[in-house]
Structures are given as C-alpha cells and as structure tokens.
Amino acid sequence: MSSPSDALPPHAQPSGVIHDIGYRPYSGPRLGDGAVAWSLFVTGLRNCYGLGRSGRSKILPMILIGLMILPALILVGVLVQARQVLGLDSHIVAYSVYPLTTQLLISVFVAAQAPALISRDLRFGTITLYLARPASRTTYVLVRMASLTVATFLLIAAPLLVMYVGGLLADLPPGRETERFLQALVGALLLAACLAGLAALVSAMTTRRGLAVAAVIVVLLVSFTVVSSIQGVSLETGNDTTGEVAGLFSPYTLTQGVQVLLFDSPRATPTPPEGGTMTLIYLAATALTILGSLGAMLRRYRQVA
Amino acid sequence: MATIQLDHVSRWYKNVVAVNDVTMTIGPGVTGLLGPNGAGKSTLISLMSGFLAPSTGSVTLDGEPLWRNEEVYRRIGLVPEREALFEYLTGRQFVLANAELHGLPDAGAAAQTAIALIEMTDAQDRTISTYSKGMRQRIKMASSLVHDPSVLLLDEPFNGMDPRQRIHLMELLRRMGGEGRTVLFSSHILEEVEQVARQIEVVVAGRHAASGDFGAIRRLMTDRPNRFVLRTGDDRVLAAALLGDPSVRGARLRAEGGIEVEATDFGRFSEVLPRLARDHQVRLFEVTPTDESLESVFSYLVST
Amino acid sequence: MSTAVMGTVARLGVRSVFGRRRGVLLFVLPLVLVGLAILVRAMVGQDVDLASGTLYGLGLAVLVPLVALIATTGVLAPEIDDGSIAYLLAKPVSRHAIVVAKLLVAVGCVLAFAAVPMLVAGLVLVTDEPGVGVAYAVGSLAGGAAYCALFALLSVMTRHAVVIGLIYLLVWEGLLGGLLDGVRWLSVTRWSAVIIEQVNDTIEISADLSPAYAVVATALAVVLGTWFTGWRLRGFNLTGDE
C-alpha cells in the first residue's frame, strides 16, 4: 500500500474492541472417551466397506462379498435340491474349510482395506488430528485394529451364515449344525484378528498405499505357498512334525490347525496338527500373532509425530 | 541474449482451459509473472520449461521449440514449486549430482560455487531431510544455477521464506537480472514482485491481462482517474483552482493537510498543475501519485 | 560423458531403492526361497523333479516377478509421484539414457536378489547337478529383465503401477496361466521356462513353446519396454501443485 498513512488526531488513543459476531464456544456436556472410541470404530468399519468414502471405493468390497457368498449359495442350493439324490449328510464344504478355500478373496480384501485405514492417515498427516483429540495413541491403534478385524470377520462369516441357514433349510440336524457353525465363527474371529494384525502392521510401515497393498498380498500369499509346499513335501516323506510346525507360519493354516485341535474340525491341510503339545504351541502362536502385531503397532505409532 | 517467446499459446485439459491465447515475450532482466491463485502461472512456467506441450501455439527459446528438446536444458535453470527433493542426499551431494547430470567438466567446483552463492556452505553436509523450508528453496536454487544458465525460471520461489531469506533471494535475482540473464519468477504476492521486477506479466484466469512496466500500465488505464496527493503552501487556493480545470474530477482537502486530487486526464493535468501553482503563487512541496502501485494496478485488472 | 551421467542416475537409483523401506522386502524374499530350499533338502534329499518344482513354483513364478516389481517401481515410482524426477529431466540428458540407467539398477537388483538366490537354492537342492541351479539363474535373469522393462513402462504410464503390476501377476500369470494354455504366448514366466529348458536339457517344465519364440519375445519385451518408457519420458507432464 503506498497511500500515505493518515496521521491520527493527537488526542486519540489506539484502542480495540472485539465485536460479537455470533461465535459461541461450546460449553455443554461432552461425551467421554468411550464415545470417541466407539465413533472412530464405527467409522473405520464403515470405511472398510466403502461407506462414507467415494463411490469407487465401494466397488471392491462389494464385489468381494458377492464372490465370497456366491459359492456358498451354490453349495447350499445343491445341498437343498440334491440331498436325497446324492445322499449328503452334511455340507459339501465344511464350515471351517470354507475360509481356507476362499483365502485369496479374503487376502485381497485385507490387503486393500488395511492401507486405506492405516497408511492414508500416516501419509497425509491427518494422524496428528486424531492424536490431538482426547483419545490417546493407544486407543487409536486399538480401535483401528478392531475396525479392520470386525470388517474382515464379517467378510469371512457372511458365507458361513448363508451355509448355516441353508443347512437348516435342508433339514440337517440343527444341534450339530449350530455347534459347528459357532465353532467356525470362533475360527473366523481368530483368522480375522491374525490377518488384520499382520496387514495393519505391514501398512503402518509405509506411507504409500500401493506399496502397502502389494506388500500385504505378498506376505499372505507367499507365506501360504511356502507353508503348503513344505507340508506337501513333509507328508510325502513322512516328516509330519515338520509340516505341523510349518503350519504355524500362515494365518490360514494356523487358525485351521487351532480349529482341528480344539473342535475336531475336518482336516483340510496335508499335515494337520495333533496332540496336546501341538495344541499349546498352536494356541500360543495365535496369541503371539495377534498380540505381537498389536504391540508392534503401538511401538510404531509411538514414533509418529 | 536469451528470449522466451510464447505465441498464441493455449493449453487445455478436457474442458478446463488453463492458458487462453497468451502471447508474451520474456527478455533479459527480471520479469515477474503475477496473478491470483489458479490463474495459470504454474502452467505457463511448465510450458516455458518444456514440461508441458501447448495445445495450440508455440513456445520457443531463441527460436527453438522447448517441447521434447533435451539440449535446451543447458541454457535453462528451473526451480520447481513442488517441495519434493532427494531427501536422503546431503545438500552438497544433491547439487553435485545436478552438476554431474549437466556434464560439467568440473562438477565439484561448480557445485561449491553455486552453494556459496546461496550461502549454504555451512549446511551442505547435512541431509536434505533436516533442512527447513527456506533452506530447501535455496538448495533448489543452487541446483538450478550450477550450470550457469542464461534463463532462470522460478515457480513461487518466495514461498515459505522468512524475511531475511527473502531479501537475500531478491538481491540474488536482481543480480542475476543485472548480469543479463533472463529471470522469470511467479508470485501472487504483490510486494515481492514490486521490489524485484519492474517488468511484469499479469495473468488472470488464464488470460494475459497486461504486460510491461507497471507504472506505464497504470497510465494506460485512462478510464480510471489517477489519484495524487499534493502538499502545498496553500491547499485551499490551489484546490479551488484545480477544480476549475476540466482534467480534474475531484479535489479533497485532507484533515491532516494536503490535497487529494482525482485527475481524469493525466497528460493535461501534469501540464496544468505547475501552471496553476505558479499563477496563484502557491508553492508545491510534494506531488505523490497514490495509486501507481502494483496493488492498485492489480486490483483494477483482476476486478474486470 | 554419457556414461558418467548414467552413473549418476544409477547411483541415485540405488539410493532410492535402498533408502526406503521397500528395500527390506528385497532382502526378505530371497531368504525365504533359500530357507525353503534348505528345508526341502533336509527332508527329502536330492530330487531333481521336486527341486525343479520348487524353483519354478516359488522362484520363477513368485520371487523373480516380485523382485522385478519392487526394484523397478522403487527406482521410478516415488520420484514420479512426488515430482522430484523433474531434477533428472531438466537436464540435457537423453531420456532413453535415464531409463537405461535406472533399468540397469533394477536388473542389478534382479541379479542380486533373484538370479543369484535361485542359483544358490538350486545348488542346495541338487548339489550333484549344478546345471539345474545355473539354468534357473539364467532363466530368472532373462525373465527378470523383461519384467523390469514392462514394469518401468507401467510406472511412467500410471500412478498405480504397483497395484496394476500385482494384479497382472496374480491374475494373468497366476490364475489364468494355470487355467488357460493360450496364456503362454504372452507370459514372461513361460518364456523364461523355455529358456531354462534350453540351457539344461535335464529339466522339463512342459512349456510347449518354440525356443526361438521365447528368446525373441523376451528380447522384444526388454527392448520395446525400455524404448517406450524413454519415449513417454520425453513427453512427461509436470505441473505444480495446483
């Protein structure tokens, strides 16, 4: 501004006043930390399925849910229609085996959604907005993992529900079916927790979403491929123990093994674990995977500004 | 002599026109590219640095087209707006790598000269990830100067600089311009452009709104009256006399002394004022144009 | 002068790949392969067919393309994404030279983290027949180079190069390659398999392609991929944040 400054009349003092333009601070009741955590949890869960995000992000989860349920529907349809003809006494594919068969879809889901929940906040710095709120760092990490776990659990459990209802409609013994279904739900929950933990940990290592997606898929796929080749070889050579130990290193075979040990579920891997020691080892490994990834995530987030 | 010539250049992407039929010549000296945010300044600089092709028209440096022409980079130094740098390198390594990529015979010496020029010699061995925003801008400048280019293009170079760094950069740009280089920098902050560049190119909404010395541009805007403040020996007498002349639209006596004059015909007014002052024996102490500033020029251009 | 310039670009590329966290994956994957080889050898002893299966299934089909993807995108994608590639492009350097220099870094990574581990794994699995390891190493290098060139082109064409490359690997080479036989004409892994068979007659992977076709196809992929990447870089659009 190059207009000459106006000289003030000598008797005026500089003063100021803040005008009331209607801004009011909020002094009403505030919900506590629990409500903050709950709303963060629900938002994360909805975001995993594209709700609350752009239209394009809804496509993949919806396609994956569809692809997960479709084979279940077909199997149930066959069961209902051709039960007498084929002499079927139970589901064609057992509850606990279904996630193992559809693992590629589950892996893709986790690989696509974990970075959306975790890497995005790190990349764009919005993490500081979360951490500046009443909820602590720990709460943020736990809630994010919980959202991802529940979202994955819903994906895995949806076809199981379809199978359960279909089984009841096909007049399979309800007591037995309910028991198996609930056991499979436990397995699904463990699987979801393991997958979510691993995927979240990998996603928290990098700010680039594309790389996080690729890394999660690589980890889940390669681990399963390696484990199944080892199990195949150990079955042929009679070294069953090696195969059983190898099963600890992929979440799919790990939770499959837990279900075999605890609930006597049908065996679906070449070298399913057996015996008391194996039970302890498998349970310990599951706990380690879930709690270990949680702990690593907390440590990682301690370093975030 | 390095001259950038844009000839009826337009650039559009889908149905957004970023640059609309712009013709301008950027010659030696410091030129400021001025415009509000989103006016197309970055697009113009990308066009002039060979990183965008014009949808129509031509962009040339001394007659050579800039698009898909790698050799032209011997003569151009570019300071991009985006902050991303090779974070894992030290300042020295970064400037040295740039020097090596230019194929300079003594890359190390050239790098050291450039670093000394922007006064980063003390910090050159720290990694760039530890640099502040102003330091990053300066190391970017060093990388663009290392090959002694005759053309320097800077996209919003004063972004994020503190006052001391800003003064230093302005001094540097003036010196570069004084050496005969063609320096073009873009900004939307008027004070920056005003202090460094007398020659400006104004871009508004993709169109080339004005170019040249901003005082001259102001005088071209004859539909807006020129404003002056006069400090005289007898305000009232002179004001009354001025109001009698058709080139004066208004005269106001200021409470703190002096006359504010609105003149519609600058040429006639500049002839009439001394004559009237002499005829009425009023001494003129000061005649100050009050709206020949860049800001008023700018606001006039942007508001149309 | 050109080699010195390429040297600078290559050095920057090496720092780019290993300066970021994705470099860790490059170390982990070959360790998994060699570890598996040791385990199988301990359990089964020396079995050429099993060795070939492992080296193909985990090595050629998984390790090589993944190493190529990680290395190539690591050398190109971050710079394109944040715009720092402007510093390489605003120089009087031929774009093709830049691409070749970066690809040399990527292929070097393939050599170090895929081909050599394949050789080691092959030697571990069948120590009596070193030819197996050598053949797989050669095939890995050839296939890896082709993958690098193709992923480089992908990196300069789209911002989502990593995901698209992964989808290509999973769907085209993995899923469809297992189901449909016609895929083999356009599958880099299959071409490498044929090359391996050529190098060492004792290996059989039933790739069902003429060796000449496989060699020419691989070479074409490398050359065309490199050339088109350079061509796209010549017309590279770089705009400001607005």
CATH number of B221-303: 3.30.70.100
- Backbone φ and ψ of B106, nearest 5°: -120, 80
Residue C240 falls within a domain, yes or no? no
- More confident site: C137 or C235: C137
pLDDT recorded at residue A211: 83
Contacts of A4 in chain B (CB under 8 A): 229, 258, 288, 290
N-to-C CA span, chain A: 41
If pLDDT is split at 50, 70 and 90, which confidence band does C241 have?
very low
Residue C238 falls within a domain, yes or no? no
Q: Give the type of residue at A96.
A: S
pLDDT at A39 over 80: yes
**b/e code C81-120 from CB counts within 10 Å (16+ = b):** bebbbbbbbbbbbbbebbbbbbbbbbbbbbbebbbbbbbb
For C239, which of B46, B72, B97 is closest by C-beta distance? B46
Mean pLDDT of chain A, nearest integer: 85
If pLDDT is split at 50, 70 and 90, which confidence band does A214 have?
confident
Asked if the Cβ–Cβ distance from A214 to C162 is below 8 Å, we say yes
Chain B closest-CA separation from residue A10 CA (Å): 11
Residue C144 falls within a domain, yes or no? yes
Over the stretch C167-222, which tens digit does the pLDDT of each residue have?
Answer: 888 888 777 766 777 777 888 888 888 888 888 877 777 667 788 888 999 999 99
If pLDDT is split at 50, 70 and 90, which confidence band does C103 have?
very high
Chain A: residue whose CA lies nearest to C70: A211
Name which of C106, C98, C49 is nearest C75 in CA terms: C106
Residue C168 falls within a domain, yes or no? yes
- More confident site: B51 or A8: B51
Residues of B (201-260) whose Cβ lies below 8 Å from A? 229, 254-256, 258
CA angle C20, C26, C28 (to 5 degrees): 115
Range picked from A30-39, C93-102, C201-210 for highest mean pLDDT: C93-102
Chain B closest-CA separation from residue A5 CA (Å): 10
Mean pLDDT of chain C, nearest integer: 85
Contacts of C161 in chain A (CB under 8 A): 210
pLDDT at A261 over 80: yes
pLDDT recorded at residue C78: 83
Contacts of A3 in chain B (CB under 8 A): 229, 290-291
pLDDT recorded at residue A181: 92
Chain B closest-CA separation from residue C84 CA (Å): 5
pLDDT recorded at residue C239: 59
pLDDT at A165 over 80: yes
Cα distances (Å, whole numbers) of residue A95 to A67, A91, A180, B32, C108: 17, 8, 7, 71, 47
pLDDT recorded at residue C242: 34
**Percentage with pLDDT > 70 across chain C:** 95
Contacts of B252 in chain A (CB under 8 A): none
Q: Where are the domains positioned within chain B?
A: 4-212, 221-303
pLDDT recorded at residue B221: 64
B100 interfacial to chain A (CB closer than 8 Å): no
For C240, which of B42, B102, B103 is closest by C-beta distance? B42
Q: With beta carbons less than 8 A apart as the criterion, state whether C51 and C123 touch.
A: no
If pLDDT is split at 50, 70 and 90, which confidence band does C117 have?
very high
Contacts of A228 (CB under 8 A, 6+ apart): A250, A253, A269, A270
Asked if the Cβ–Cβ distance from B80 to C91 is below 8 Å, we say no
CATH architecture of B4-212: 3-Layer(aba) Sandwich (3.40)
If pLDDT is split at 50, 70 and 90, which confidence band does A8 have?
very low
If pLDDT is split at 50, 70 and 90, which confidence band does A4 have?
very low
- Chains touching A (at least 3 CB pairs under 8 A) are B, C
Asked if the Cβ–Cβ distance from A217 to C166 is below 8 Å, we say yes
Low-confidence ranges of chain B (pLDDT < 70): 1, 215, 218-225, 291-297, 303-304
Asked if the Cβ–Cβ distance from A229 to C57 is below 8 Å, we say yes
Token pair in block for residue A270: 């070449």
Q: With beta carbons less than 8 A apart as the criterion, state whether C202 and C129 touch.
A: yes
Q: Give the type of residue at A54.
A: S
pLDDT at A144 over 80: yes
Contacts of B292 in chain A (CB under 8 A): 2
- What is the CB-side half-sphere exposure of residue A223 using CA atoms within 13 A? 21
Asked if the Cβ–Cβ distance from A1 to B256 is below 8 Å, we say no
CA angle A252, A258, A262 (to 5 degrees): 150
HEC sequence for C52-104: HHHHHHHHHHHHHHHHHHHHHHHHHHHHHHHCCCHHHHCCCCCHHHHHHHHHH
